[in-house]
Amino acid sequence: MIKNAVAAFLAFFAVVALPTAAQARLQCVTYARQISDVQLSGNARDWWSNAAGTYDRGQKPQAGAVLAFSGTRAMPYGHVAVVRKVVDDRHILIDHANWSGPGMVEKGVMAVDVSAAGDWSEVRVWFAPTKSVGLRASPAHGFIYPRTVTADASAAKSAKG
């Protein structure tokens, strides 16, 4: 009886504790939807246009916003990452998946605005294999703000004004 109970527990634990193939190959879009209040569909390259009329968009980073990257030859489906913390006007910490390795989740990694205009249109992102903020800049559209972030920012402006 005890052997059966132990065997059943171990079988259950193996199913629950082991990552599934989907978890091992987590994509940036799936991860961004899981951890943010921005709920869009489509490839990452489409999020910026898909957000129009549903979410506010802009060029200033805010915690909780989604940074939407353009599609390029190197990343044809684009990329999305969630802002964890704003360090200053040109540095943020992001949470994202599938950047430094297939399905790899990274939390609190550096992203740097390297655009001439300071508008987050060219971004370098921490890349674990090189232990640097990347060898190339990636084009980005800007930030998609969840309604909760937009409401909080508006309330803060009203309180100051």
Residue 8 binned pLDDT confidence (cut-offs 50, 70, 90): very low
In this prediction, residue 149 carries a pLDDT of 61
The domain locations on the chain are 27-160
In this prediction, residue 1 carries a pLDDT of 53
Structure tokens given for 34: 């899981």
156 C-beta neighbours (distance < 10 Å), count: 10
Q: Give 21 or 88, the one with higher predicted confidence.
A: 88
121 C-beta neighbours (distance < 10 Å), count: 17
In 72-152, at which residue ranges do the beta strands (DSSP E only) sit? Answer: 79-88, 91-97, 105-113, 122-125, 138-145
Classify burial at 48, counting beta carbons within 10 Å of its beta carbon; exposed 0-12, middle 13-18, buried 19 or more. Answer: buried
pLDDT tens profile 105-158: 999 999 999 999 999 999 999 999 999 998 899 999 999 999 876 445 544 444
Could you give the angle at the alpha carbon of 110 between the alpha carbons of 128 and 94, nearest 5°? 100
pLDDT tens profile 47-100: 999 999 999 999 999 999 999 999 999 999 999 999 999 999 999 999 999 999
Q: Give 13 or 111, the one with higher predicted confidence.
A: 111
Contacting residues for 150 by C-beta, under 8 A, at least 6 apart: 55, 56
Q: Give 26 or 31, the one with higher predicted confidence.
A: 31
Q: Give 7 or 130, the one with higher predicted confidence.
A: 130
Q: Which residues pair with 86 in a beta bridge?
A: 92
93 C-beta neighbours (distance < 10 Å), count: 18
From the candidate CATH numbers 1.20.1560.10, 1.10.630.10, 1.10.600.10, 3.90.1720.10, the one assigned to the domain spanning 27-160: 3.90.1720.10
pTM for this structure?
A: 0.78
17 C-beta neighbours (distance < 10 Å), count: 7
